[in-house]
Structure 1
Amino acid sequence: MSQSSPKYTPRPMSSTTTYALGGVAIVLIVLIVILAMRWGREDEATVRNDGYGPVHNSAVISVLAPDGAVLLGRPDAAKTIDVYEDPLCPACGQVERIYGQELAQQIDEGKLAVRYHYVNFLDPRSGSKDYSTRAIAANECVAEAGSGPTYSKFHELMFVSRQPREGSGDLTNQELAEMARAAGAPEGVVQCVGSGAKVDAAKANAKTALDDLNSRLGGRAATPAIFEGADRIDVNNETWVVDLTR
């Protein structure tokens, strides 16, 4: 298991207000320089537990709740945390890249379960203008099938290996369907993803998740946001995953 040496500095969180704010040119230039410097430091951060991969214990299941939340874990998991993400959020992808494999091992061992809540406020920042919603719909198709390892692999592909960049092109439903197939999803799930069968439900569920997140954060929803009960977890603390299991 590799350990993280440099301190993790997360990318600025995606929020519902970020893209409504204007600024003069000089402010934008300074911001771009600062972000470039921070992103450079993040890329140097060591991936924790590198080589473990996504969840692979067949005892781990995925459960799609009526409100769209996805629970990933063993039925006997000792503790459950809540994770709020937008599929297009770069900071979410960064947290998943660095800590996803460490989380996977804790999930496999039954020490943690993760309840994922998906929001879609970055839809306007995608090439198709609805990527976050369609990606959430794909998640719901895969999660409903119940296989923890398959869902975990799909989640890794969506947030780490194949995550589009904000403000650029994104993935079609057919490309999302191929990702589901690559993760090991059965053909019925692949068809669910490719047809966009759950897009309407995903849109409604994303609003529910956003309302919940705004409630938790005093109307200032931002992703990623991770909670143990009512307490928000500080992902600047590089040992936060291990600390949860002590």
Structure 2
Amino acid sequence: MSNPTSKHTPQPVSSKTTYALAGLALVVVVVIVGALYLWNRGGGDTVRSDGYGPVHDPGVSVALDSDGGIVLGKPNVAKTVDIYEDPICPACGHLEKIYGQEIAQQVDLGKIAVRYRLVNFLDRNSKSKDYSTRAIAANECVAQAGDGPVYGKFHSLLFTTEQPSEGGSDHDNKELAAIAKQAGASDDVAKCITSGERADAGRAHAEASMKALDDLIGKNWGTPSIFVDGKKVDWGNSNWVLDAAK
């Protein structure tokens, strides 16, 4: 998780919404700040709805919006939670580990839908230098198939047990496809991932999501950033998911 002192805060370097990070020195700072933050959270690290798992109600669907938003939920849900995250962001992984199962439970209950808006400003912190973009493309391949439980499991895996560490090794497309198959995706979905056919779309959608964040809260944003009804959520409040589901 990231509070104002521990967020990844990218700085724009061109008229296109791209972000440069300061390399190894910043990685060290992020690790130290993140460790201090998690230390200070204490009881806030208790896993919510532990044992529930990802969404598993077959009535949950997933849809890929034209702007790249991935919407997971049941039809006609009154409230949608927007979550902006980077696939390699440690705080985003922490969010999924602590709150992912509780989010899934509320989605299964039809209390909320989730719109994932994925960004790629941490590409440079991956060994391949494009992991975030390729992971976004893989998410889109899985999402466009429309199976909510499969997407939910895939997203959970990518942000928990299968999330690469910043500066460390990451997954190639074949490995991303294998994770999708583990989640229950079809051979066609796996082919979409291995071929990289959604790479350009994923990159464009990531830039659109970063521009959306600029418009919402200015350029000093970080991931994860969460919004309900257009209002930013403080996910340091351990009851934020249940509050959103009211």
| TM-score of the two chains, using structure 1 as the length reference | 0.89
Corresponding residue number in structure 1 for 2:15: none
Give the secondary-structure state (helix, strand or coil) at the position aligned to 1:154. Answer: helix
Corresponding residue number in structure 2 for 1:207: 207
Give the secondary-structure state (helix, strand or coil) at the position aligned to 1:151. Answer: helix
Cα deviation, 1:114-140, whole Å, max 9, x if unaligned, reads 011111000000000000000000000
Alignment of structure 1 residues 224-243 onto 2, 5 Å: 224-243=224-243
Is 1:36 paired with 2:35? yes
- CA distance 1:131–1:31, shift in 2 (3 Å): closer
What is the one-letter code of the residue matched to 2:6? P
Alignment partners' CA distance in 2, 1:21 and 1:111: 41
Give the secondary-structure state (helix, strand or coil) at the position aligned to 1:226. Answer: strand
Cα deviation, 1:172-200, whole Å, max 9, x if unaligned, reads 00000000000000110011011111001
Corresponding residue number in structure 1 for 2:58: 58
Is 1:15 paired with 2:9? yes
- CA distance 1:192–1:204, shift in 2 (3 Å): same
Instruction: Tell me, yes or no, if the aligned pair for 2:123 and 2:133 is still in contact at 8 Å.
Output: yes
Identify unmatched segments of 5+ residues in structure 2.
12-18
Identify unmatched segments of 5+ residues in structure 1.
1-7
How far the C-alpha of 1:30 sits from its partner, in A, is 8.2
Alignment partners' CA distance in 1, 2:27 and 2:174: 36
Give the secondary-structure state (helix, strand or coil) at the position aligned to 2:124. Answer: helix
How far the C-alpha of 1:19 sits from its partner, in A, is 6.2
- CA distance 1:62–1:164, shift in 2 (3 Å): same
How far the C-alpha of 1:218 sits from its partner, in A, is 1.3
- CA distance 1:107–1:197, shift in 2 (3 Å): same
Cα deviation, 1:28-87, whole Å, max 9, x if unaligned, reads 988865543334456871100000000000000000011111000001323111110100
Alignment partners' CA distance in 1, 2:222 and 2:37: 18
How far the C-alpha of 1:220 sits from its partner, in A, is 1.7
Cα deviation, 1:218-240, whole Å, max 9, x if unaligned, reads 12231100001221011010000
Alignment partners' CA distance in 2, 1:68 and 1:90: 22
Instruction: Tell me, yes or no, if the aligned pair for 1:9 and 1:42 is still in contact at 8 Å.
Output: no
Alignment of structure 1 residues 133-148 onto 2, 5 Å: 133-148=133-148
| TM-score of the two chains, using structure 2 as the length reference | 0.89
What is the one-letter code of the residue matched to 1:149? P
